[in-house]
Amino acid sequence: ESIEEWRKEVGLEKMILLGHNLGGFLAAAYSLKYPSRVKHLILVEPWGFPERPDNAEHERPIPIWIKALGAILSPFNPLAGLRIAGPFGLSLVQRLRPDFKRKYSSMFDDNTVAEYIYHCNVQSPSGETAFKNMTIPYGWAKRPMLQRISQMDRDIPITVVYGARSCIDGNSGSTIQSLRPNSYVKTIAILGAGHYVYADQPEDFNEKVKDICDSVD
């Protein structure tokens, strides 16, 4: 609903909607509810599409201590610890995620990125709360999108973008294609990119998105 309120506020009649990770799930949910407003749906490394397998814990056993910790932390939002850390939160981000600084080292040689990540995540949680309410252990969607994607308006084209080196399951694109046989569905793999496709291979990613925008125009 907040996406729809934003659309009305800026006066867009129809739009190309792109979402990454949780944003892909939300973009698909919006497209299901407001199909007349979406020209093209671009799902980048989308979260929450497949169902949790019945044998998920057998294939990748969860250690007892992680289950216990999960039970203790279940009432809290995922990043509550960062907010509780107060002024020590920034050094916590720097220590736990040094990869952020390395990834953007060509643009920043200081702690700009860590500070940005920190300040984004110590705000009052909204998307974080939503994510917690939409998941079941351990990080699977409560209402998987693949169960609903066949109900989407057949005239909405979908492009699924994955990083070839990502740990996210890239099979959702072909599954969407099988569930929407009479609609446009295309899957693109960006070579050399992981989950953060737009940061790992920005030129290639931007070119692919621009091609989609040009085709819609």
Q: Tell which of 93, 119, 136 closes a domain.
A: 136
- 118 and 149 in a single domain? The answer is no
Residues 122 and 83 in one domain: yes
Q: Extract the tokens encoding 206.
A: 């931007």
The answer to whether the beta carbons of residues 28 and 40 sit under 8 Å apart is no
Residues of the chain predicted below pLDDT 70: 55-78
Q: Are residues 150 and 44 in the same domain?
A: yes
| Per-residue model confidence (pLDDT) at position 62 | 60
Q: Are 117 and 93 in contact (CB under 8 A)?
A: yes
Domain total of the chain:
2
Is the distance from CB of 42 to CB of 19 less than 8 angstroms? yes
Burial letters 61-95, b for 16+ CB under 10 A, else e: eeeeeeeeeeeeeeeeeebeebeeeeeebbeebbe
Per the DSSP assignment, residues forming a β-bridge with 16 are 40
Q: What is the pLDDT of residue 73?
A: 45
Domain final residue pick, 136, 155, 178 = 136
* CATH number of residue 191's parent domain: 3.40.50.1820
Q: Domain residues for 92?
A: 59-136
Predicted local distance difference test score (pLDDT) of residue 7: 97
User: Is 104 in the same domain as 150?
Assistant: no
Mean pLDDT of the chain: 86
111 shares a domain with 156: no
User: Do 47 and 29 fall within a single domain?
Assistant: yes
Using one digit for the tens of pLDDT, what is the confidence trace for 15-39?
A: 999 999 999 999 999 999 999 999 9
pTM, to two decimals? 0.81
**Residue of 25, 40, 44 lying closest to 197 (CA atoms):** 44
